[in-house]
């Protein structure tokens, strides 16, 4: 922790506020039983978050005759899917960086896939009497410090250059204040597509939908070993699954695989949830359903909830050594929770008197070009999705569609997307990657805090923050 950091008023810990609320909403129905004995299926999916569950639902929708099982180590939705900010956004806001890394046509294909995902999630949220707190509203990036102002123009000019000016609009300080007032908001950029959702209720509803579609769901059933072959064999503590097709949807845990690890680093993101204060939201003039973030690199992301709270996230959590997704620092780092809390009070000072209900953190797997990848290990029938880079609520829908296409060997509008077809740059090996990553993170956090406080950036922090750019890397550059 740096000298400027303090402890959060609530220490971070599992489960998330969302997950507890979702289980209460369900009436604490019992978990699906663990797998005992041998099971033979066409497809086994490992991991019961959004990725695994969308894949299960989409597979059954496209090929109802297939036998599909899903193994979840804990309870479905207890991972990142049940603990994220619930900000739903596709890729229109990523166009400038996507164009640089994959080119204009591919960037537009990715952005259009995000729109199809928004349509798909909306359709799911609005049917079957589900109450998932789905609220559509624009996604807005706001400058909250003079140094962030310069980023706004790039979004607008790139969209104009690509002929998709409709997707984005610059907002003045007054226009932002017309949506939500903060003493530090200076203007921003609005993407018309976006939504917020109750992420844990979404994950649990997907679990129910999968079960109703005939998927055999086993909770408290970790896969402990995978023998790739024809068929594949998966071992669990009390049983085994024999399956022709395997889908690995275990998120940051996939960073332990050497082939995947070449392309991802494991970082973490932390969230604080305020107590309810609908009257304070009224005072802020926050009447719409925008999903918001500032324009830092280690962003603050925030939204309100249906019961009058503000969720504030900070994507500035520690990097774990050698891709270890189980490091304690990924879920219990007081400094990162304190940064999220400080962000809440800096942006919305009136919430200081409201206080926090909960704080928590979780792993995010950041890919070498910040775009997820959905692929099949060469010469196997083992498919996987990884690299959501802290942005997965909308993209996991795309992952489900792409993985279903890979399992079914379908060359279609999903499997031909860059998520499945591009090659990714390699990251430097450890220990250089982690040590270098930690240095750069430290430098950027210090630069961004100095910029917010409008004080001189320490030279050493500026130098550390510049390293990725000097090395020609695509992640870590501001």
Ligand X SMILES: Cc1cc2nc3c(=O)[nH]c(=O)nc-3n(C[C@H](O)[C@H](O)[C@H](O)COP(=O)(O)OP(=O)(O)OC[C@H]3O[C@@H](n4cnc5c(N)ncnc54)[C@H](O)[C@@H]3O)c2cc1C
What does the chain come to in residues? 478
DSSP 245-286: EEEE--GGGGGGSHHHHTTEEEEEEEEEEEPP-HHHHHHTT-
Helix/strand number for the chain, H first, E second: 14, 19
| Whether 405 contacts 423, CB under 8 Å | no
Min CB(339)–ligand X separation in Å: 13
Min CB(218)–ligand X separation in Å: 9
Min CB(78)–ligand X separation in Å: 5
Residue identified by tokens 């999220």 is 340
| Whether 228 contacts 46, CB under 8 Å | no
Task: Return the number of the residue (52 or 476) whose C-beta is nearest ligand X.
Answer: 52
DSSP 101-125: HH-HHHHHHHHHHHHHHHHHHHHHH
Min CB(392)–ligand X separation in Å: 2
Min CB(457)–ligand X separation in Å: 27
Give the three-state DSSP class for 261.
Answer: helix
| Whether 383 contacts 403, CB under 8 Å | yes
Task: Return the number of the residue (51 or 320) whose C-beta is nearest ligand X.
Answer: 51
Task: Return the number of the residue (106 or 325) whose C-beta is nearest ligand X.
Answer: 325
Binding region for ligand X (CB under 6 A): 46-52, 71-74, 78-81, 83-87, 222-223, 249-251, 253, 269, 271, 301, 313, 361-362, 364, 388, 390-394, 396
Task: Return the number of the residue (51 or 401) whose C-beta is nearest ligand X.
Answer: 51
Cis peptide before 231 (omega within 30 of 0): yes
Min CB(146)–ligand X separation in Å: 26
Min CB(240)–ligand X separation in Å: 13
H-type helices in 333-394, by residue range? 334-347
Give the CA angle between residues 445, 97, 390 to the nearest 5°.
Answer: 55
H-type helices in 357-431, by residue range? 395-407, 418-421
Task: Return the number of the residue (147 or 202) whose C-beta is nearest ligand X.
Answer: 202
Of 345, 352, 4, nearest in space to 183 by CA: 345
Task: Return the number of the residue (269 or 415) whose C-beta is nearest ligand X.
Answer: 269
Task: Return the number of the residue (316 or 461) whose C-beta is nearest ligand X.
Answer: 316
Q: In angstroms, what CA-CA distances link 45 with 13, 206, 383? A: 28, 14, 9
Task: Return the number of the residue (78 or 143) whose C-beta is nearest ligand X.
Answer: 78
Min CB(48)–ligand X separation in Å: 5
| Whether 253 contacts 325, CB under 8 Å | yes
Chain residue whose CB lies nearest ligand X: 392
Integer Cα distance of 159 and 415 in angstroms: 25
């Amino acid at each position: 922790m740096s000298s400027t950091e303090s402890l959060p008023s609530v220490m971070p810990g599992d489960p998330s506020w969302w997950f507890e609320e979702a289980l209460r909403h369900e009436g604490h129905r019992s978990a699906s039983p663990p797998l005992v004995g041998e099971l033979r299926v066409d497809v086994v999916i490992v991991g019961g978050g959004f990725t695994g569950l969308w894949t299960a639902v989409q597979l059954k929708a496209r090929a109802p005759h297939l036998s599909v099982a899903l193994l979840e180590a804990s309870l479905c939705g207890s991972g990142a899917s049940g603990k994220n900010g619930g900000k739903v956004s596709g890729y229109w806001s990523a166009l400038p960086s996507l164009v640089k890394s994959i080119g204009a046509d591919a960037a537009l294909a990715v952005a259009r896939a995000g729109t199809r995902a928004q349509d798909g999630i909306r359709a799911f949220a609005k049917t079957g009497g589900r109450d998932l707190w789905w609220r559509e509203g624009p996604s807005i990036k706001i400058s909250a410090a003079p140094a962030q102002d310069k980023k706004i123009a790039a979004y607008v000019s790139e969209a104009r250059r690509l002929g998709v000016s409709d997707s984005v609009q610059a907002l003045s300080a007054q226009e932002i204040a017309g949506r939500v007032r903060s003493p530090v908001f200076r203007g921003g950029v609005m993407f018309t597509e976006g939504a917020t959702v109750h992420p844990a209720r979404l994950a649990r509803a997907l679990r129910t939908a999968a079960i109703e579609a005939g998927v055999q769901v086993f909770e408290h059933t970790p896969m402990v070993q995978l023998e790739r072959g024809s068929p594949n064999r998966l071992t669990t503590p009390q049983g085994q699954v024999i399956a022709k097709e395997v889908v690995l949807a275990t998120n940051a845990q996939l960073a332990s695989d050497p082939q995947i690890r070449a392309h991802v680093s494991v970082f973490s993101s932390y969230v604080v949830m305020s107590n309810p204060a609908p009257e304070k939201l009224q005072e802020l003039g926050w009447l719409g359903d925008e999903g918001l973030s500032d324009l830092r690199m280690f962003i603050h992301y925030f939204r309100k909830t249906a019961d009058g709270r503000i969720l504030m996230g900070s994507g500035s959590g520690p990097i774990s050594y050698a891709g270890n997704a189980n490091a304690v620092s990924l879920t219990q780092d007081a400094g990162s929770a304190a940064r999220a809390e400080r962000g809440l009070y800096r942006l919305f000072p009136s919430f200081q008197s409201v206080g926090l209900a909960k704080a928590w953190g979780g792993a995010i797997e950041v890919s070498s070009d910040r775009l997820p990848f959905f692929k099949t290990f060469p010469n196997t029938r083992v498919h996987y999705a990884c690299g959501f880079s802290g942005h997965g609520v909308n993209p996991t829908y795309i992952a489900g569609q792409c993985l279903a296409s890979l399992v079914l060997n379908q060359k279609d509008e999903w499997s031909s997307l860059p998520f499945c077809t591009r090659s990714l740059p390699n990251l430097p090996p450890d220990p250089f990657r982690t040590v270098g990553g930690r240095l750069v993170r430290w430098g950027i956090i210090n630069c961004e805090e100095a910029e917010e406080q409008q004080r001189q950036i320490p030279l050493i922090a500026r130098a550390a923050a510049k390293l990725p750019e000097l090395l020609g890397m695509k992640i870590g550059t501001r």
